[in-house]
């Protein structure tokens, strides 16, 4: 077989598409790891930051629709900016939302943040669903530009995009790992273990929690942006809680909350399990129950999380114990 035939074969294409989405979910999981794994914050609104990142990137990089398309598509603005500007904007807007949600909730019991993040995610989805003028309402946006699209023939474009996603994932993972091993990161873990003790050592617990919430949200925003450019089209139905939030929690707990390598592994392993259950439901669920088939898979996912929580709460890899970056491990 020639190189060309191998690169364009169906199986390999499937694998590349699989790796792109798994890497994007790994970014969400990394963001959630900053929240929960490192700081102990319960964010049940991953889907909200996912949506904000995706819509921001789309509106910043898309031009305003023209001609025939303008009759069917409404959007508040379209800045036609390059890919990197979109990524940065996505991270910034997600960070701002995190500040707004953090201020009223981070001084209170941990359950209040969980409730408030569900609220923000639902509200964001409702706004994008109902406000036609903002980003075309429930029909969503199409034709989101793809970075470096002209570099290679279209058939090979996914390889380029996989490269971009892996570079972003690697940069984010290395940066987060360095931050969490810094004195700053150790304060986060101290807060997770015992807030009162951290406060007694003179740490401003609220400020550190807010920083962690913002940092994690920004990573999620970047993940959302990469999702939008990969899919090329987004609509509010993408950001439903099960698919936008819950799956990320399953990946986090499965891989090992508090372990950077673990949560990335969790994202890839769970995305593989998820793809496997797709084949299983296609094969075993009768066509008459097609509209219910996804819910068999959801039930499986929810059962898996409960079993993990009960029998292996540390996940596949478990948390790495470390004292200081200065001391050899």
123-138 b/e (C-beta count within 10 Å ≥ 16 → b): ebbeebbeeeeebbbe
Q: Does 5 bind other proteins (CB under 8 A)?
A: no
Residues 62-91 that bind other proteins (CB under 8 A): none
Residue 303 CB coordination number (10 Å): 10
Binding mask 108-127 for other proteins (x = CB under 8 A): x-xxx-xxx-xxx-xx--xx
User: How far is it, in rounded angstroms, from Cα 55 to Cα 141?
Assistant: 9
In the complex with other proteins, the residue whose CB is nearer, 147 or 241, is 241
For 226, residues 6+ apart whose C-beta sits below 8 A from its C-beta are: 23, 24, 27, 87, 164, 165, 168
Stretch that binds other proteins, among 5-13, 73-81, 105-113, 139-147 (CB under 8 A): 105-113
CB 122 to other proteins: min, Å: 5
> Binding of other proteins at residue 166 (CB under 8 A)?
no
Complex with other proteins: residue 78 or 315, whichever CB lies closer = 315
Residue with tokens 């890919």: 83
Of 120 and 205, the one with the shorter C-beta distance to other proteins is: 120
Closest Cα to residue 229, out of 297, 139, 158? 158
Q: Judged by CB under 8 A, does residue 8 bind other proteins?
A: no
CB 275, min distance to other proteins, A: 19
Among candidate residues 3, 321, 328, the one with its CA nearest the CA of residue 159: 3
Token duo for residue 14: 């499937």
Place of tokens 């097609």: 290
Q: Which of residues 205-234 bind other proteins (CB under 8 A)?
A: none
Which CB atom, from 31 or from 65, has the smaller least distance to other proteins? 31
- Minimum distance from residue 287 beta carbon to other proteins (Å): 14
Dihedral sign, Cα of residue 257, residue 262, residue 264, residue 268:
negative
CA–CA dist 284, 46 (Å, integer) = 31
Query: Cβ(230)–Cβ(165) under 8 Å?
Result: yes
# binding residues, other proteins (CB under 8 A) = 42
- In angstroms, the CA 62 to CA 78 distance is 5
Tell whether residue 94 is a contact of other proteins (CB under 8 A). no
Quote the least distance from Cβ 157 to other proteins, whole Å: 35
Separation CA 102–CA 90 (nearest Å): 18
Residues 28-67 that bind other proteins (CB under 8 A): 36, 40, 42, 44
Query: Which of 13, 74, 129, 235: binder of other proteins (CB under 8 A)?
Result: 129
249 binds other proteins (CB under 8 A): yes
Tell whether residue 309 is a contact of other proteins (CB under 8 A).
yes
Footprint on this chain of other proteins (rule: CB under 8 A): 36, 40, 42, 44, 103-105, 107-108, 110-112, 114-116, 118-120, 122-123, 126-127, 129-130, 241-242, 246, 249, 253, 291-292, 295-296, 298-299, 302-303, 305-306, 309-310, 313
């Amino acid at each position: 077989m020639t190189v060309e035939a191998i690169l364009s074969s169906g199986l390999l294409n499937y694998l590349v598409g699989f790796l792109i989405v798994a890497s994007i979910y790994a970014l969400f999981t990394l963001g959630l790891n900053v929240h929960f794994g490192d700081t102990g914050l319960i964010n049940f609104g991953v889907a909200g930051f996912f949506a904000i990142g995706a819509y921001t990137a789309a509106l910043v990089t898309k031009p305003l629709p023209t001609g025939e398309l303008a009759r069917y598509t409404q959007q508040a603005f379209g800045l036609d900016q390059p890919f990197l500007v979109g990524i940065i904007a996505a991270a910034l807007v997600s960070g701002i939302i995190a500040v707004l949600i953090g201020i009223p909730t981070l001084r209170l019991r941990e359950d209040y943040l969980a409730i408030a993040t569900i609220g923000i995610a639902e509200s964001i989805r409702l706004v994008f669903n109902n406000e036609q003028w903002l980003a075309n309402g429930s029909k969503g946006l199409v034709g989101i530009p793809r970075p470096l699209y002209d570099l290679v023939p279209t058939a090979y474009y996914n390889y380029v995009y996989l490269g971009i996603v892996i570079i972003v994932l690697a940069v984010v993972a290395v940066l987060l790992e360095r931050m969490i091993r810094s004195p700053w990161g150790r304060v986060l873990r101290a807060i997770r273990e015992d807030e009162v003790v951290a406060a007694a050592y003179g740490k401003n617990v609220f400020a550190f929690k807010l920083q962690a919430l913002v940092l994690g949200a920004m990573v999620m925003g970047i993940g959302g942006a990469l999702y939008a450019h990969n899919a090329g089209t987004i609509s509010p139905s993408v950001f439903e809680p099960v698919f936008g939030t819950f799956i990320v929690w399953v990946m986090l707990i499965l891989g090992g909350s508090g372990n950077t390598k673990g949560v990335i592994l969790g994202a890839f392993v769970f995305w593989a399990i998820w793809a496997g259950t797709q084949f299983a439901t296609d094969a075993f669920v009768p066509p008459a129950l097609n509209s219910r088939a996804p819910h068999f898979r959801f039930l499986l996912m929810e059962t898996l999380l409960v079993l993990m929580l009960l029998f292996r709460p540390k996940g596949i890899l478990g948390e790495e114990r470390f004292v200081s970056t200065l001391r050899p491990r």
